[in-house]
Amino acid sequence: MLNKKSIDDINVKGKKVLVRCDFNVPLQEGKITDENRLVAALPTLKKLIADGGRLILCSHLGKPKGEPKPELSLAPVAVRLSELLGQEVKFAADPEVVGPNAKAAVAEMKDGDVILLENTRYRIEETKNGDAFSKDLASLADVFVNDAFGTAHRAHCSNVGVTKYIDTAVVGYLMQKEIDFLGNAVNNPERPMVAILGGAKVSSKISVINNLLDKVDTLIIGGGMSYTFAKAQGNEVGKSLLEEDYLDYALEMIKKAEEKGVKFLLPVDTVVTKEFSKDAESRVVEGSMEPDEMGMDIGPKTRELYADAVKSAKTVVWNGPMGVFEFPKFAEGTIAVAQALADIDATTIIGGGDSAAAVNQLGFGDKMSHISTGGGASLEFLEGKELPGVAAANDK
């Protein structure tokens, strides 16, 4: 369990509550194309409203790199959030985030009112955790709530710096839920526990593999990163994604798994093509590929092997697609794994980022126990690192 104070431990009646949310949603021409993160924020916001807090919401959106970029304004979020909450969310359109609009809006607030500040990354200090902006944010509020799991692995003004200037700093329900799910899965799992790792690169998941080998009963590898393992074991992988610098590391991990008695599963067959395109002609290969071929997905035997390996699992953590799932023709392996997780009676946890997108896009969203809202944050958690955004909250 998370040893941090939460919104259940404080009284916000009549208080100005700065809530760091994760409203970093994808936008296309001013329209929100995936509102999962907004929906995920609602339980915390509703609780604070019901308790009579005066809510000042803040978030970053995209990477405006310290200057106002109209296409990255949070204005559309205020509109959609008003609809979702069923009450007005007043947008404070200050390019400096904490400016005359925000201050006037805060001064007029009544209990249960909600305002949203402009994109915190309009301020250059935000990502540098600079004091001036942390103080500005803190000057608006009496209490700070951090519910932005997606940025918890970063130490920025709006999630860490601000806690230097506001004594009461607690976590919201979403943060609590994320840490409880991921924390239980990693540190206190119901066994057998299986981790499935995929995605493009071994290098980005080294520490995750290493840390998880100390925790899991079975580790399953798929996606682009599997070719480095295949090559290390003496197979030719043609033009597939390959990280030559990590061949030794791959062997080390296989050895570590053996020593620990962890079942380590690698693909036994691969769907290969001669070009990286959505309707490239393909064939299934066991063992070595031809020099002009590249791996795009796990093959049918591997899909069966992996589905079988999770059948008796009680806890499964999955991060990273099994192939180039953005091309429907090469999404079969990722679909098969999603289906296998949907079919079992286990706690199933999907790391954020591409795996969450894949599971939602393929229609398995409501079949999983938990889909994390944080890609980078969930990975760092699986690496066993402390998240600064969580550490900054008051201890219980």
Annotation marks residue 63 as catalytic = no
Q: How many residues bind ligand AMP (CB under 6 A)?
A: 17
Q: Is 173 or 246 the residue whose CB approaches ligand AMP more closely? A: 246
Catalytic residue among 4, 15, 20, 37: 37
> Which residue stretch of 40-48, 108-116, 197-205, 248-256 sits at the interface with ligand AMP (rule: CB under 6 A)?
197-205
Annotation marks residue 295 as catalytic = no
Contact 335, 362 (CB under 8 A): yes
What minimum distance in Å lies between the beta carbon of 335 and ligand AMP?
Answer: 13
Q: Give, as ranges, the residues between 338 and 367 that touch ligand AMP (CB under 6 A).
A: 353-354
What minimum distance in Å lies between the beta carbon of 70 and ligand AMP?
Answer: 29
Q: Give, as ranges, the residues between 226 and 255 that touch ligand AMP (CB under 6 A).
A: 241
The answer to the question of residue 263 lying near ligand AMP (CB under 6 A) is no
Among 295, 299, 352, 389, binds ligand AMP (CB under 6 A): 295
What minimum distance in Å lies between the beta carbon of 369 and ligand AMP?
Answer: 20
Residue partners of 346: CB distance under 8 A and separation at least 6: 190, 310, 313, 314, 315, 316, 369
Site string for ligand AMP, 296-335 (x = CB under 6 A): x-----------------------xx-xxxx---------
Catalytic residue among 150, 161, 172, 353: 353
Annotation marks residue 283 as catalytic = no
Annotation marks residue 201 as catalytic = yes
The answer to the question of residue 379 lying near ligand AMP (CB under 6 A) is no
Residues contributing to the site for ligand AMP (CB under 6 A): 199-201, 204, 223-224, 241, 295-296, 320-321, 323-326, 353-354
Q: Give catalytic residues, as residue numbers.
A: 37, 201, 353, 376
